[in-house]
Amino acid sequence: MSVMIENLNWEEINPQLDALLEEYHGDKSALIEVLHKAQEIVGYLPEPVQEKIADGLNVSLSDVCSVISFYSHFSTKPKGKYHIALCLGTACYVKGAPDIVDRLEKELKLKSGDTTDDGLFSLEMVRCLGACGLGPVMTINGEVYGLLSPDKAVTTLKEITKA
Partner 1 sequence: MKQINLCIDGKEVQVPAGTTILAAAEVAGKKIPTLCFLKDINEIGACRVCLVEVEGARTLSASCVTPVSEGMKVHTNSPKVRRARRLQVELLLSDHEMTCPTCIRNGNCELQQVAEDLGIRDIRFTGGKKNSAPVDRSTPSIIRDPQKCILCRRCVSVCTATQTVEAIAATNRGFDTVIAPANGRSLADSPCVKCGQCVLVCPTGALIEREYVEEVWEALGDPTKHVVVQTAPATRVAIGEEFGYDPGSINTGQMVAGLRALGFDKVFDTDFTADLTILEEGNELLQRLNNGGTLPMITSCSPGWINFIEFFYGDELDHLSTCKSPQQMFGALVKSYYAEKYDLNPDDIICVSIMPCTAKKFEAGRTEMSVTGNTPDVDYVLTTRELARMIKQAGLNFNELPEEEYDAPLGISTGAGVIFGATGGVMEAALRTVYEVVVEEELPSLDFEFARGLEGVKEAEVDLKGTKVKVAIAHGLSNARRLLDQIKDGTSPYHFIEVMCCPGGCIGGGGQPIPTNTEIRQKRIDATYQADRDMPLRKSHENPAVTTLYEEYLGKPLGEKSHHLLHTHYTKRRRK
Interface contacts to partner 1, rule CB under 8 A: 47, 50, 60-66, 69-70, 76
Q: Of the two residues 62 and 133, which places its CB atom closer to partner 1 in the complex?
A: 62
CA distances from 31 to 12, 49, 53, 97 (A): 22, 13, 8, 34
Radius of gyration of the chain, Cα coordinates, nearest whole angstrom: 18
Alpha carbons 108 and 123: distance in angstroms, whole number: 9
Asked whether 50 and 64 are in contact (CB, 8 A), the reply is yes
Q: Smallest distance from the beta carbon of 129 to partner 1, in angstroms?
A: 23
Q: Smallest distance from the beta carbon of 68 to partner 1, in angstroms?
A: 9
Q: Of the two residues 67 and 85, which places its CB atom closer to partner 1 in the complex?
A: 67
Q: Of the two residues 60 and 90, which places its CB atom closer to partner 1 in the complex?
A: 60
Residues 33, 111, 104, 120, CA torsion sign: positive
Q: Which residues are CB-neighbours of 51 under 8 A, at least 6 positions away?
A: 61
Alpha carbons 42 and 58: distance in angstroms, whole number: 21
Q: Of the two residues 49 and 131, which places its CB atom closer to partner 1 in the complex?
A: 49
Q: Smallest distance from the beta carbon of 78 to partner 1, in angstroms?
A: 15
Q: Of the two residues 10 and 70, which places its CB atom closer to partner 1 in the complex?
A: 70
Q: Smallest distance from the beta carbon of 55 to partner 1, in angstroms?
A: 11
Q: Find the farthest-apart pair of alpha carbons in the chain and give their distance in angstroms, rounded.
A: 51
Q: Smallest distance from the beta carbon of 76 to partner 1, in angstroms?
A: 7
